Structure 1
């Protein structure tokens, strides 16, 4: 036979255990308070990568527009032909610019 208050005590310990478990997950879980700063730092890194890739995409888009077969930029076309074929005149000087 059980004591009259033991059933209530068991329910209270169960509720307390569940509350402590939920608190632990809220603090130390994968989306908890401790992971928040890590996620914020990762977000900043990703945003800077996106900015770099966006700039690179825009530069490539501009280069593609300059190579339009209907109205190709003569300077760019000449540069590409000389680069791909390795053709230079004797009196030319090549200056390369680092990106």
Structure 2
């Protein structure tokens, strides 16, 4: 998780390094490759949608985001919200006040 969110008030994508998932060949279907989304920061494809959603909320001045607790979506949202608002609260070390 090297990518840091932008400085407070600076629009931009909150990123924890999502995307770029490697492709893997399927043994039982020669010639077919799929993305291995476990390589995303929270191990889920949900990171791809959460990054722009949390960025949108932060850039419009929202201080909170919510999501139905459906497993991977909730974990991804919590991780990206923590990254988005950690810098806003004056710290850049991943800390987000509870």
TMscore range, shorter length: under 0.3
After TM superposition, the score normalised by the length of structure 1 is 0.25
- Structure with more relative contact order (C-alpha pairs < 8 Å, separation 6 or more): 2
**Bigger strand fraction:** 2
After TM superposition, the score normalised by the length of structure 2 is 0.26
**Bigger helix fraction:** 1
